[in-house]
Amino acid sequence: MTTTPITTVVVDYGGVLTNPLEETFAAFASAVGVPVADLRDAFAKATARHGRSPMADLETGRCTESEMVERVLVELPDGRGQGLLDGRDFAELWFSARTVNEPMVSFVRSLRQNGYRTALLTNNVAEWGPRWRAQLPVDELFDLVVDSSAEGVRKPDPEIYRRLLERLPAASHECLFLDDLEENCSTASDLGMFAVPFTTTDEAIDHIFAMLRSRGTHPVRKPV
């Protein structure tokens, strides 16, 4: 039986090419002086009130950043949301705690240099485009970027994966998919991709390296 080679590696942005999202969330809560538990509860209450997660609406262009912030802050207890940002920019505070995962970026770069097609599939925010793109050499790293804020649909909705596959173009069984959220990996698997849940950088690179060496056609060397 002939083994179909993996030709394409698709990666997530937040939590994969950056530090973990939990770190960013906790640092933001600390910067505005709100306990993490209270901030999580405010997001949950905003979700219940509006029927969708405020971040989901922001990442699909259904609301602006300022509208998202307003939805969340109003749910903080004891009126603490009023004046909480005190004129500070939400995105600036958020990105001040977001750092680049340089070893993973280097690995993606090496994959593309060794002949693999690379793509970024990200749930992201239109207003944050200049900030996150300034962190990464996007054109150097990726053949294709599919961004939820431009698509109006986000992971784990299968539709955004189908758009990715159409634009690559690649069959799903030729693709390896890396994401830090299990629900996003599940959709990729359901569509026939080889999904790798991101846990740590070293484990992810080891897993990807092993799969590409066993199923690939291009030479690739494991980073030292």
Cα separation of 167 and 223, whole Å?
A: 29
146: nearest Cα among 7, 9, 15, 10? 10
Lowest mean pLDDT among 52-56, 81-85, 96-100: 81-85
Residue 12 sits in the same domain as residue 81: no
Residue 120 sits in the same domain as residue 163: yes
Banded model confidence at residue 217, pLDDT cuts 50, 70, 90? low
Banded model confidence at residue 216, pLDDT cuts 50, 70, 90? low
- Using the predicted structure, report yes or no on whether residue 224 has a pLDDT greater than 60: no
Query: Of 52, 74, 96, which residue constitutes the final position of a domain?
Result: 96
Residue 15 sits in the same domain as residue 117: yes
Residue 45 sits in the same domain as residue 85: yes
What range defines the domain where residue 153 resides? 8-19+100-215
Residue 155 sits in the same domain as residue 175: yes
pLDDT tens column, 59-96: 999 999 999 999 998 899 877 667 677 778 889 999 99
Q: Reduced to 3 states, what is the DSSP secondary structure of residue 221?
A: coil
Residue 67 sits in the same domain as residue 155: no
Domain tally for the chain? 2
Cis peptide before 223 (omega within 30 of 0): no
